[in-house]
Amino acid sequence: MTLGKTIDGKAFAEKLRGRVAVGVADFVAKTGRKPGLAVVLVGEDPASSVYVRSKGKATVEVGMESLEFKRPATISQEELLELVEELNGDPSVDGILVQLPLPKHLDDAEVIARINPAKDVDGFHVVNAGKLAVGDPTALVPCTPMGCLMLLKDELGDLSGKEAVVIGRSNIVGKPMAALLLGESCTVTIAHSRTHDLAGVVHRADIVVAAVGRPEMVKGSWIKPGATVIDVGINRVPADEEGKTKIVGDVDTAGAISHCAGITPVPGGVGPMTIAVLLRNTLVAASAREGLPMPEGL
Ligand code: GUN
């Protein structure tokens, strides 16, 4: 029995943040200003507030300007669109991120559509989704799938010709992940809740990316021996101890580790990559806005 290794996303994310910090220093030397990331938080959802706080801290740590715009859950769609327009027109803002989900009375799609695609560091705007789909290298790419791709390339090197199965078809992870893997010349299958024989489909894969949001749904026995597994899931479930909870992924890690070559743990795998890639995307967007070449090593 081969025991797979744990893929340390936390360590990789730290290295990436270090490279971003070097790129930021170079940007500041060339332009005399810091790249700026504006994060908009509507309402007081505790999980969103935690994310926004860690994003702000990480932004400052790499030498960028962090601007936070907190608005009450009662904000109207028109007021939120006005704020987005203001940030679009603000020359000190290179990246705009509107934390999702928004309260139910607000229309996410309309808000995202209003963000200047050149400042869309989440890569959610249809212009960026379209650029990714046609392989335009100027696309801003969603942070989580970009982080997954970086981990895969670091583990496996050239991905060309590999069988990749992406489980989940969201616009935020599954679809852009599939486009990125296709861009690396993988043979890509997108599986989802209606897929027949998911176990059989997963068993074909050299690369499995699980992004379904269902705790430990992907069983260890489904994994082909020697495959590499990226677990995007973050699911809170009851812990063994009464009244406590814990975070698990979409993959049965304990079962998969004896089959696979490597697997990202939850927590400490994909999660830390997302913010690191957000910082990278902000520097990429800032450099493009200043007419500077793509920063090196990112
Ligand atoms: N909510 C959870 N993750 C994300 C993300 O990556 N971007 C945005 N905008 N909202 C989120």
Compute the average pLDDT of residues 257-272. 96
Question: What domains can you pick out in the chain, each with its CATH number?
Answer: 32-116 (3.40.50.10860), 142-272 (3.40.50.720)
**Per-residue pLDDT, 7:** 98
Rounded to two decimals, the pTM is: 0.97
Angstrom distance (rounded) from CA 3 to CA 117: 44
**How open is the CA angle 158-136-211, to the nearest 5 degrees?**
60
Digit-coded pLDDT (tens) for 46-102: 999 999 999 999 999 999 999 999 999 999 999 999 999 999 999 999 999 999 999
- Ligand 1 neighbourhood includes 143 CB (under 6 angstroms): yes
**Cα–Cα nearest to 231, from 296, 147, 156:** 147
**Per-residue pLDDT, 192:** 97
CA of 170 to the centre of ligand 1 (A): 13
Cβ-in-10-Å burial (0-12, 13-18, 19+) of 245 comes to exposed
CA of 227 to the centre of ligand 1 (A): 28
Angstrom distance (rounded) from CA 262 to CA 3: 9
- Ligand 1 neighbourhood includes 281 CB (under 6 angstroms): no
Atom of ligand 1 nearest to the CA of 278: 6
Catalytic residue numbers, as ranges: 55, 99, 122
Please state the length of the chain: 298
Cα–Cα separations (whole angstroms), residue 102 to 58, 77, 194, 202, 259: 23, 10, 28, 33, 40
- Ligand 1 neighbourhood includes 97 CB (under 6 angstroms): yes
